[in-house]
Each structure stands twice: as structure tokens, then as C-alpha cells.
Amino acid sequence: MEAYLVDWLNLLGRWLHLVAGIAWIGASFYFVWLDNHLLPLPDPKAAPGVSGELWAVHGGGFYNARKYPVAPPVLPEPLHWFKWEAYTTWLSGMFMLCLIYYLSADVYLIDTSIATISSSTAIAIGLATLAGGWLVYDQLCKSVLGRHERALATVLSALIAAVAYGLCQVFSGRGAFIHFGAMLGTIMVANVFFVIIPGQRELVAAKLAGRPLDPAPGLRGKQRSVHNTYFTLPVLFAMMSNHYASSYGAHFNWAVLIALSASGALIRAWFVARHKQHVAGHTVSPWPLVTGIVILAAAIIAMTPRTAPPAEKSAAAGIDFARAQAIVTQRCATCHAASPTQPGFPAPPKGVMLDTPQRILDQTKQMRQQLVTRVMPIANLTHMTDEERGQLVAWIDRGAPH
């Protein structure tokens, strides 16, 4: 019953996280796009304080959006704020992180072949990464470096890459990738909570009190908002990577994580630049886009599944289906069965079942990918040996004779 309830909490938490994330990222992308498409008013005197406007048609009507860099002459009522999308995304994400990776750290977070650490140590490292990532990032933005965007981007990129490498030396590939994404997501929501929203509140309070309006809070908020949009694609990749063992299970998975994150950030940067330059009537350099695509292509090529080494093929030359089935039954079918016997698994993961001869034969291609990347059995709970792994890979490479 406990596993059944956890499964439902997983489903509902993931559902909420997905919906909130769509709302937050959608709003973020829209406002970045909007800000870069504003055009000067035909008659600036007609609307003092307006830096630009945009006309759009959607849903059967016309919309006219205008931007006041500091504040309008009179504050309107009601004034809509965009914050709960971000907060809900982070809160639901932390709920999922605790439910899956911390409640079952020995299964999803720890891989003893990478590092032998206790569950409490692993959880402490994970939480320290989330908090430390924000503190270091925030101090860098507040420093002199924060006034030089390219220099700041270079330093942040190096530090983020170092974190990606470090996490992959401590956690399972799956746990490392998810914590990398969670760290960037925490930075993003902390930008909203500690910088963007307080800056907006200060502008509103100053306007209501009749104090001189300081544009600095708005400029800081704009900087953090732009950072958030560059972080978005790397975060999305990290969040969905747990469904793709070829990424987090790669031999140099830290390099895959860095490469795909860099690719996503570069592609997003190109889109942002394109929006801005297109409105100004200028051409935008294609190099960020080209570089991002080249990095992505290189990662795909580098991650091509390997064939079994000659030693493994030789050791498995005489394996037959009976032996293959015996290995799968002992090492895999405890989870991948109609009624799993492995504690904590109320249903076969992803609906994959390997408890009959035909089901094994139907899944050989998928099995091979999981075996070569060493992500299955998860955390090697069933203690599959390297010899057994090599035997199964070689048997599949021979066409899975039966």
C-alpha cells in the first residue's frame, strides 16, 4: 500500500510540476520576446514615459502592449504580478526531489560503483549544491563582474561546468543530472523571489509614496530575467534526461551534461538576439546557433552505443537463450514483471515486462541500451556481474538466438 501511495504522489507531483513549469516558462519566454519586439511610439508626446509598444492579434482580438521602464504616471488597478508560476514550479520540483531522490536515495541517487556514501551524506551534498549554487551566483552578479556581462557569462559557465563534473563524480548519472537541473532551477526561482519581485515592489512603493523613482531595481531585475531565459533549455534537458539512459548513463556523462547544456544556452541566446535584431532591422550572427547545433551533433555522435568488447564476445560465445533468460529473470524481472518482487516497485518501470520468453525477445534492443550504459539494473540492486552484463550484450549482438 505504501508503494502504491508513493506512486500516486509521484504522478500528482509530476503533473503539478509540469503544469506550473509550462506556465512559468511560457510567461518568461513571452515577456523576453515582448521586450525585444517593442517599437517606439509614432508620437512619444502622446504617452509620456512609454519606451515602446507592440500590437498583436490573438484569440480573435487585437492587443496593444506598452512598456514603462520605470512606472506609469498613475498606477493602474488591478496590477498583475507574475510570481506564483515560478514558486509553484520550484515547490513542486522540491517535492519530487524529496519523494524520489531523497526518500529512495539508495536506489536513485547513490551508485556505489561511483562513490560509496551514505544516504544522509548524499542528501546533504544535494541540498548544499542547490543552496551554494544560488549564493555563489548571486554574489558574482552583485560584484564588479556583474557589470560586465561577457566576463560574468564566462566565469559562470566555468563554474557551472565544474559543478556538472563534480556531481557526476558523486551521484548516479540520473541523480547528478537532476541535481544539476535543480540547481539552475533554484537560481532561476531565487532570482524571481530575491531580485525581480522585490525590485518591482520597490518601484510600486516609491510611486505610491511619491518618492523619486530609481531605475536600478528594474535594471537588476532585467539582468536576472535574461539570465533565467538562458538557463531554461539546460534546465529542461536535465529535468527530462532521466527518461533517456543514453545521456546520463554515458561513460563521460559529465561531458554530455556540459555539452547539451551549452548547446541549449547557445541556441536560446541566438533566439533572443534574433528577436532583438529582427525588430531593429539588423541581421544577427548565426554563430551561436551553429555552435550550439555542432555541439549537439558532436554529443550525439560521441554517445553512439558501443559494441561489446572482443573479450566479452569471446566469453559469451556459447550463451544460449536459456542462459540469457536465467540472467534476466534473476537480475531484471524482479522489477520488470507484471507483479514486481523488488520492494518499492508497485508496477514495472515504464510498463516494461521481462517475465516471459516472448517479452524478453521483444525488448532486446531496449535491453542492450540499458546494459551498455550500465544504468540497469537501477543502482545495480540485483547485483548483476560484469560477466553477466557482457554475456547478455554479446547474445543480443548475435541476434538473440532462441
Q: What is the pLDDT of residue 318?
A: 64
Q: Are residue 217 and residue 344 in the same domain, yes or no?
A: no
* Cβ partners under 8 Å of residue 107, min gap 6: 344, 378, 379, 381
Range of the domain at 343: 310-397
Residue 258 lies in a domain: no
Q: Are residue 56 and residue 175 in the same domain, yes or no?
A: no
Helix, strand, or coil (residue 125): helix
* Percent of the chain scoring above 90 in pLDDT: 60
Is residue 347 very low, low, confident or very high in pLDDT (cuts 50, 70, 90)? confident
pLDDT of residue 358 exceeding 90: yes
Residue 256 lies in a domain: no
Least confident interval from 311-325, 345-359, 383-397: 311-325
Give CA–CA dist 10/43, Å, rounded.
55
Q: Are residue 20 and residue 166 in the same domain, yes or no?
A: yes
Q: Are residue 63 and residue 114 in the same domain, yes or no?
A: no
The answer to whether residues 89 and 24 touch, using CB atoms and an 8 Å cutoff, is yes
Q: What is the pLDDT of residue 308?
A: 52
pLDDT, tens digit (0-9, with 9 covering 90-100), for 243-266: 888 899 888 999 999 999 999 999
Residue 298 lies in a domain: no
Q: Are residue 86 and residue 213 in the same domain, yes or no?
A: yes
Q: Are residue 59 and residue 128 in the same domain, yes or no?
A: no
pLDDT, tens digit (0-9, with 9 covering 90-100), for 139-150: 999 999 999 999
Q: How many domains are contained in the chain?
A: 3
pTM of the predicted model as reported, rounded to 2 decimal places = 0.88
* Cβ partners under 8 Å of residue 168, min gap 6: 114, 176, 253, 254, 257
Q: Are residue 102 and residue 141 in the same domain, yes or no?
A: yes
- Final residue belonging to a domain, choices 202, 226, 242: 242
Q: Which of 163, 162, 168, 169 is nearest to 183 (CA)?
A: 163
pLDDT, tens digit (0-9, with 9 covering 90-100), for 108-137: 999 988 999 999 999 999 999 999 999 999
Q: Are residue 167 and residue 52 in the same domain, yes or no?
A: no
Residue 316 lies in a domain: yes
pLDDT, tens digit (0-9, with 9 covering 90-100), for 158-203: 999 999 999 999 999 999 999 999 999 999 999 999 999 999 999 8
Q: Are residue 113 and residue 91 in the same domain, yes or no?
A: yes
